[in-house]
Structure 1
Amino acid sequence: MASERLRKLVVDIAKENDYGNPEIAINPINTGGANYTSALFTIIVSESDKEDLNLFAKVINVNEAIRSQLPEGIFDIERLAYEDLLKKYEDIEIAQNLPSSKRFVIPKYYGCNPKLFEEIIVLENLTEKGFTTYDRFKSIDWEYAAKAVETLAKYHALSMAYKEKHPEEFKQFTDNLKFQREMFTGVLRQLFVQRTATALAVTSEKHKSKLERYLKTEMTLDAVIKLSESPQRPVLCHGDYRPSNLMHRYNEDGSLEVIPVDFQTLQYGCPISDLLYFIFTGSDEKFRRQYFQDLTDHYYQELNSALRALELNPDVIYPKRAFELDLKEFLPFGLIIAIFSLPIVTVEVEDAPSMQADSSLEKVAKAKTGSSYPERMNGVINDFFRWGIIE
């Protein structure tokens, strides 16, 4: 049983942290439709005369049918992220004497069960420190968006620094991610027809025929895959950088802090893809009309700052002109991100699909969309007509 495996792992973690005879309370979390592949738990390890140890656990919760459609090692990526990659990033920051304000912050990692089909990750419980997730039914605001892309810029800058300072190690790590690319391509092929049909079903009549033609002749599935496989300056991307995977809090001085979680979809690709993913999963048309240019500019400025803090020259590593060209080339990918992701982002809690029982990727794709989906999807479509990408 998953609960028994989790308890055994927590007992081991308690011992490693000098809890001799602790009480352990494990409670499930209702994610409200924000997480499909895992069962989530909060854990309190307590013992007299010691501070409570507040933990968070993610237990893989996917049936055999769906599991068979995904690469074997997909759920081990997050362990590699915490045990290898993110520790390397911290080493780089320490070597550069970066002040805390310039560092990329992650939750403390306590341990895992890496066994295939039984994977568990245990981290500190950030909610006990006042962190929470953004309401996925609301569009992001400027303050939150600016801080989120600042955090993203630090993350991408560390990938660039890793590649520059430790090229052989970096290559070895990215080679281990090749199956993530295979997964990305495989899932796209399985869901593309269904997801595009879902989008077209709610598209306004004035745009429907042109959008359908665009998806059949220009932004085809093969074009999407080719675009995703051809970045000029690839980095280690988060892969699912949306508000549901970001924890945030307001500090006593009024400042906002954002911590990314869920590195399960870590992949090697264009940094623009993470930026667009955040924008098109987190914002509505009104926000993008007002802030799209400001936010992309802000990301580059923060990336520039983060690279300089790591003693790297942005004009060499990622010149502004190269960033602008990448943004222009990858912008159509934002439409595909919306087509694939908005049904998940906007689904009502009671309609959130399960990946247990007799579920499959096809059934997940056909899950009922939420009431805000038509407005959010048409907002994105309006953007692409307004920008002249679809004519």
Structure 2
Amino acid sequence: MAPESLRKLVEDIAKENEYENPNITINPISTGGANYSSELFTITVSKSGKEDLHLFAKVIIINETIRSQMPAAIFNVERLIYVELLKKYEDIEIAHDVPLTRRLVVPKYYGCNPKIFEESIVLEDLSKKGYTTYDRFKPINWEYAAGAVESLAKFHALSIAYSEENPEEFKAFVEKTDFQKEMFVGMLHQMYEQRIQTTLSVTAEKHKEKLQKYLETHVNIEAIMNISQSSQRRVLCHGDYRPSNLMHKYNEDGTIHVIPVDFQTIQCDSPLYDLIYFIFTGSDEKFRREHFQDLTDHYYQELSNALRSLKLNPDVIYPKTAFELELKEYLPYGLFVAIIGLPIITVDVDNAPSMQGDGGFEVFSMAKTGSLYPERMNGVINDYFRWGIIE
């Protein structure tokens, strides 16, 4: 059942859009364990003589224990993204006459309720336009991955344009989200050691000893943070760019168009933060063996195209040599992402953690791993031995 606060918000949105005394239908939807912090709803606003208004709502369901471990500002981040940042990005595209087919596409924002314990946001329902989420239990394929990094490249290019054209304004916006990284570091300290034990429990015996030694010396939270600080080109990253936070649909030519959603984890980092995160949360060993280099090349080409659309020279702004150097430096982050993320990404629906109960962040490290986890995790470990990163 939808909270009364959500119904009130939808009524206000209906009035703003000139739907007087409409019929409002609100239905809950399940993400099959892909969403832990919110309840999701589809909404139809109907009025005789007018086209139905199809909406999507996300209502925060985080308990008091977890809230006490998070800065209050986190619940305002997504509103800031839609009201300030994405509007700024649209203005930049218009100013540079970027063709509609080359622009970043995001859901239309309708409104939000910032009141504590009622936090909610209402957007357009992209499913009515044929968009859907990817099955989190299936590894990504080339068509999907290509579409996803094309949208990611546009998102990053707009951040670069913003920082170049309005550096002080950009800096001020970054400062509004700076707390995100500190919060995530705190979360990681709580769960990383447990995650390492989970990883080692499924690691093939031939790799276990060398992996453990590598993790002790190269893949710790401080080392990962140091990588991000050394980036030549820092951008506003999505922060959680994985298939569960993307909507996609097939185009007539067989290509896939991808729309990013769920912007509440945005933070300033290297473009590689999002790219590596996407690859290691969404792909399996077979995909990376066949497409890793092609996908990183495709991302850089799309980033270059997007920068040129914004009248920026990629060879000056972010040369390919700098990108390739950062890619090499960021590879340990892929293993880190897999260690932290794969237990949750592959969790069986019945064992998915909930942020509604009494526990804190430990609910994520206590969740039982799914049947896909050993294969996906060992696939990542195999990559690092094959690439010669772990010897």
Check if 1:35 corresponds to 2:35.
yes
Residues 6, 120 of structure 1: 8 Å contact kept: yes
CA distance in 2, matches of 1:183, 1:225: 13
Residues 2, 59 of structure 1: 8 Å contact kept: no
CA distance in 1, matches of 2:221, 2:159: 28
Q: Deviations over 1:116-169 (max 9, x none)?
A: 332111000001111001111111111111111011001100000000111111
Q: Deviations over 1:54-111 (max 9, x none)?
A: 0000001100001111122112111100000000000000011111111000010000
In the TM superposition, 1:65-84 aligns within 5 A as 65-84=65-84
Check if 1:164 corresponds to 2:150.
no
Q: Deviations over 1:272-321 (max 9, x none)?
A: 01000110011000000000000000100110111011000101110000
Q: Which moved more, 1:298-307 or 1:358-367?
A: 358-367
In the other structure, the counterpart of 1:101 is 101
In the other structure, the counterpart of 2:358 is 358
Q: TM-score, normalised by structure 1?
A: 0.98
Shift of 1:195: 1.1
2:266 partner amino acid: L
In the other structure, the counterpart of 1:129 is 129
Shift of 1:178: 1.2
2:130 partner amino acid: G
1:199 partner amino acid: T
1:61 partner amino acid: I
Q: Secondary structure at the match of 2:353?
A: coil
In the TM superposition, 1:1-391 aligns within 5 A as 3-391=3-391
Residues 343, 370 of structure 1: 8 Å contact kept: yes
Q: Secondary structure at the match of 2:28?
A: strand
Shift of 1:226: 2.1
Instruction: Give the share of equivalent positions with the same residue, in percent.
Output: 69
1:260 partner amino acid: P
Residues 2, 27 of structure 2: 8 Å contact kept: no
CA distance in 2, matches of 1:251, 1:181: 36
Shift of 1:2: 6.8
Residues 2, 26 of structure 2: 8 Å contact kept: no
Q: Secondary structure at the match of 2:58?
A: strand
Q: Deviations over 1:355-388 (max 9, x none)?
A: 1122221122110111000000000000011111
Structure 1, unmatched stretches of 5+, are: none
Q: Secondary structure at the match of 2:56?
A: strand
CA distance in 1, matches of 2:101, 2:312: 18
1:15 partner amino acid: K
Q: Secondary structure at the match of 2:72?
A: coil
Residues 2, 118 of structure 1: 8 Å contact kept: no
Shift of 1:231: 2.3
CA distance in 1, matches of 2:319, 2:14: 48
Residues 147, 255 of structure 2: 8 Å contact kept: no
CA distance in 1, matches of 2:302, 2:218: 33
Shift of 1:204: 0.5
CA distance in 2, matches of 1:251, 1:314: 28
1:358 partner amino acid: D
CA distance in 1, matches of 2:159, 2:140: 26
1:381 partner amino acid: I
CA distance in 1, matches of 2:384, 2:71: 33
CA distance in 2, matches of 1:303, 1:353: 36
Q: Which moved more, 1:88-97 or 1:251-260?
A: 251-260
CA RMSD, Structure 1 to Structure 2 (Å): 1.2
Residues 143, 255 of structure 2: 8 Å contact kept: no
CA distance in 1, matches of 2:244, 2:2: 24
CA distance in 2, matches of 1:129, 1:357: 35
Q: TM-score, normalised by structure 2?
A: 0.98
Q: Deviations over 1:232-259 (max 9, x none)?
A: 2110000000011110011345442110
1:91 partner amino acid: D
